Structure 1
Amino acid sequence: MTPLYFAHLSQLHVQTEQLLEEHQFDQMLIGSGGLHKHFLDDTRYPFRPNPHFVHWAPFLTQHPDCWLLVRPNKKPLMFYYTPKDFWHLTPDLPAADWAKGFEWVAYDNVSAILSVVAQFNTAVISEAAFIGETALDQKPFSHNPNGLIQSINFNRAVKTEWEQHCLREANYLAVKGHRAALQGFESGLSEYEIHQAYLSAVQHNERDLPYDNIVGLNEHAAVLHYQFQQHSAPSQHRTLLIDAGARFNGYAADITRTFTQPGSLFADLVRGLDDLQLQLCHQISAGSHFVALHEQMHLMIADLLNRFGIVTANPEEQLEQGITRAFYPHGLGHLLGLQVHDVGGWQQDATGRIKQPPAEHPFLRLTRTLETGYVITVEPGIYFIPQLLAELKASPAASQINWALIEQLLPYGGIRIEDNLCVSKDGSENYTRDGFAKLA
């Protein structure tokens, strides 16, 4: 896929040159990021690269202290950190085809970078943008200039063909893990063992994952970001909710599936939500308003709760009384890319103008009108969360709830179905469903 990558690099360079001129910079220096020590310790946190750096160099996701200099009408110049170090492996300069997109300088002292930057300054502008976590106080750097970063963040929502390829492959990889997780659930494994089976299937270490896996059995499926993994298996496996992804060249998949044994009311509810999620996915195309899609999903879930006899109020009454928010408290989805929650979800233009989510849906992460090339998640849910149910029971809407059914469903925890879609002019490509079909 090297030609696609070079096309991506070329497009990125053209866009950046335009933005540098617009924001009055003659060059841009991007840091890959650094390693950070734990408090009162000499060990370090796992490295997470600067996404602005990975946007250019997706093959260097495990390389701290590298620097990329972007200059108009020149190849991007990569300062590749090669320290003299017998404690760690010092990497060689890359020799793969993709590396031909850059000029390379092996360095172990930041003064080499500053020298090159100073030589390139023009007499007209003589200012460089620096994007990274650690400020360089020396002239001519402007550290993380807000206007430039807002423009870059806004543009990142539209993915190039190369980025779409990486996101598609990340989904295919993650689907392998979800199939392994299902097998572990059916075999009666613990949350920890299911997690390990997932890692083995996707061939990731913990540090490779785009986010910490959520592996919740039974009642733990009602904790939206359940953060533990029990080593002992429960006596009965009613539910597995697994929210787990994978990375491919720095790009993330973010997939959730809910598995349960057939033959129960909860199993029928899982199938019902899966059908609704797929119905909504089929409606998505360029021009769709994501806030409207989120509100439509609430109406669809209200109808499902009514049909199953969980809530006696009709869908419109449920929305008016806020009943569905007790069962579905989070947003429909978000932008996806180099970051799991990719930047710019509330941003409406390149200047950084923000559209907040509706007051009744404060956790919605995406308020933009969808465009061709956006990659998004679609992840409705129905949960039986004791805290929210207690609040609902204390509200005037309590009489509209079938509490006997709630008690029957509480031990199952909850349901979330999450797919990753690439928006097109007339519809969308569902990377996740295609991945499951490919491996079926």
Structure 2
Amino acid sequence: MERLAPLYQAHIAELSQRSDTILAQQGLDGMVIHSGQPQRIFLDDMDYPFKPNPHFKHWLPVIDNPHCVLLIRPGHKPALLFYRPVDFWHKVPPLPTDFWTEFVDLQVIEKPEQARALLPASLANFAYIGEHPEQASEWGLTRINPKPVMDFLHYHRAYKTDYELACMRIASEVAVCGHEAARDAFFGQKSEFDIQLAYLCATQHGENDVPYGNIVALNENSAILHYTKLQKTAPEQLRSFLLDAGASFHGYASDITRTYAFDPQSKFAELVATMDSHQQALIDTITPGMRYTDLHLAMHQRVAQMLRQFDLAAGSDEALIANGVTAAFFPHGLGHQIGLQVHDVGGFMQDPQGTHLAAPDEHPALRCTRLIEPGMVVTIEPGLYIIDSLLNNLKGEASSMLNQAGIDALRPYGGVRIEDDIVIHSDRVENLTRDLGLA
């Protein structure tokens, strides 16, 4: 990981510049960024899996250690209070010696309550960034997640540093290995549960390491957008497989979806190939300055074409879209920003002050309305599904446009989704997924 060191140095410099700017604007002396605290399961003696504050892991790759505190002040190195308890019940985190440690002032605390003595005597003019306001109040912090600070930081998080892009490339590389193993398990006629095990083994991730719960769906389960049930017995007849799964590296996520037909000569295989072609063609149209909303709307035109091509519905592009038919087959957004979080923050922000531009009323599930600019990383994930509850809601002219025979034929396959993670550069689009060879 030596190659990450110079990138990390520039990353810290960029984050410091951003923080200095907003602190000066708000007249603040600094920020206290809390990694978080474990949350105890109700009426139990165990905790839920710990997930750190994304603002904390934006500064450094400490992704599994609660009770840490990061002190950010203009003109100072970031100061890390690293929690390392004396404990014989659990594995104690090792003292960090990685590439990033030379860029922070590191002090060890053995108990959470030791943190306060190592912070400035007065924190009245500091902002607390974290999810535990009661802890902030105990330390004397009154500016808790101030909105102007949060808006500024969330807006700028869309623009990735070279260090962040390097981490995301590695996360994509790991996920591609998992996807290839899962694909092979599907064609080996394994169950959803066994496919999940193949994925986790290939990525060397545990279930709590992946950035989100893997969607491993066979046959009609592919039409359940966030399906996570994992059947332990394979269906008697395998028809289709949809895998939406990512990986994590240093706190950064990848998010990839592929759909496969068990019979390569089936009409469903043709549908998958057509969706794949449209997805790539849409990506080829992306240039800086476009609004993400327009990409989403352009995909609905392509979905309308597919509905006619595969005898699922009849009508012009305009009529199928205006009557909500394409939205019934493609009910989610085209994609989202990605980075420290799978669905990264700031997707609706139009400026550092947090001006909000909502998704169109006709497409409320869209997660991003921003202008596309260099440095951004977004997903492009069009889909087409047979979801009876949505199709049954279509009435009048919209209902008359449906071809029930075509819908009935596709229903046992569930649906199709294709998703890549892409980086916007000033002169090109980098496909983090396909550049690694995943078809």
Q: TM-score, normalised by structure 2?
A: 0.96
Aligned to 2:180: 179
CA distance in 2, matches of 1:244, 1:182: 12
Aligned to 2:244: 243
Aligned to 2:420: 419
Which range moves more in the overlay, 18-27 or 155-164?
A: 18-27
Aligned to 1:155: 156
Q: What does residue range 134-173 of structure 1 map to in structure 2 within 5 Å?
A: 134-135=132-133, 136-137=136-137, 138-173=139-174
Conserved? CA contact 2:300–2:326, under 8 Å: yes
CA distance in 1, matches of 2:393, 2:399: 9
Aligned to 1:129: 127
Does 1:205 find its partner at 2:206? Answer: yes
Aligned to 1:365: 367
CA distance in 2, matches of 1:257, 1:355: 30
Conserved? CA contact 2:223–2:414, under 8 Å: yes
Q: CA RMSD in A?
A: 1.4
Distance apart, 1:141 and its partner CA: 4.1
Distance apart, 1:176 and its partner CA: 0.7
Q: Which amino acid aligns with 1:250?
A: G
CA distance in 2, matches of 1:307, 1:259: 19
Distance apart, 1:111 and its partner CA: 4.9
Q: Which amino acid aligns with 1:133?
A: E
Cα deviations by residue, 1:260-299 (Å, 9 ceiling, x for unpaired)? 1211111111111110000001111211111111000001
Cα deviations by residue, 1:188-217 (Å, 9 ceiling, x for unpaired)? 000000000000011101111000000010
Conserved? CA contact 1:335–1:345, under 8 Å: yes
Determine which of 9, 13, 19 is the counterpart of 1:6: 9
Which range moves more in the overlay, 198-207 or 102-111?
A: 102-111
CA distance in 2, matches of 1:203, 1:51: 22
Aligned to 1:375: 377
CA distance in 1, matches of 2:26, 2:163: 27
Distance apart, 1:232 and its partner CA: 0.6
CA distance in 2, matches of 1:67, 1:397: 55
SS at the partner of 1:68?
strand
CA distance in 1, matches of 2:209, 2:141: 35
Which range moves more in the overlay, 424-433 or 182-191?
A: 424-433
Q: What does residue range 286-365 of structure 1 map to in structure 2 within 5 Å?
A: 286-365=288-367
SS at the partner of 1:118?
coil
Distance apart, 1:310 and its partner CA: 2.0
CA distance in 2, matches of 1:85, 1:201: 32
Residue identity (%): 44
Q: What does residue range 36-115 of structure 1 map to in structure 2 within 5 Å?
A: 36-58=39-61, 60-115=62-117
CA distance in 1, matches of 2:266, 2:364: 33
Cα deviations by residue, 1:311-367 (Å, 9 ceiling, x for unpaired)? 121211111211101100000010000000000101111111100000000000000
Conserved? CA contact 2:67–2:112, under 8 Å: no
CA distance in 1, matches of 2:250, 2:140: 34
Cα deviations by residue, 1:147-192 (Å, 9 ceiling, x for unpaired)? 1011000000000001011111111110111111110110100000
Aligned to 1:284: 286
Conserved? CA contact 2:23–2:30, under 8 Å: yes
Conserved? CA contact 1:283–1:427, under 8 Å: no
Conserved? CA contact 1:172–1:436, under 8 Å: no
Conserved? CA contact 2:172–2:254, under 8 Å: yes
Conserved? CA contact 2:122–2:140, under 8 Å: no
Cα deviations by residue, 1:406-429 (Å, 9 ceiling, x for unpaired)? 111110000000000001113310
SS at the partner of 2:336?
coil
Distance apart, 1:5 and its partner CA: 1.0
Q: Which amino acid aligns with 2:131?
A: E
Q: Which amino acid aligns with 1:389?
A: L
Which range moves more in the overlay, 165-174 or 93-102?
A: 93-102
Conserved? CA contact 1:33–1:65, under 8 Å: yes
Distance apart, 1:139 and its partner CA: 2.5
Distance apart, 1:85 and its partner CA: 1.7
CA distance in 2, matches of 1:288, 1:21: 32
Conserved? CA contact 1:282–1:427, under 8 Å: no
Determine which of 268, 271, 274 is the counterpart of 2:273: 271
Q: TM-score, normalised by structure 1?
A: 0.95
Conserved? CA contact 2:255–2:419, under 8 Å: yes
Q: Which amino acid aligns with 1:139?
A: G
In structure 2, the gaps of 5 or more residues are none
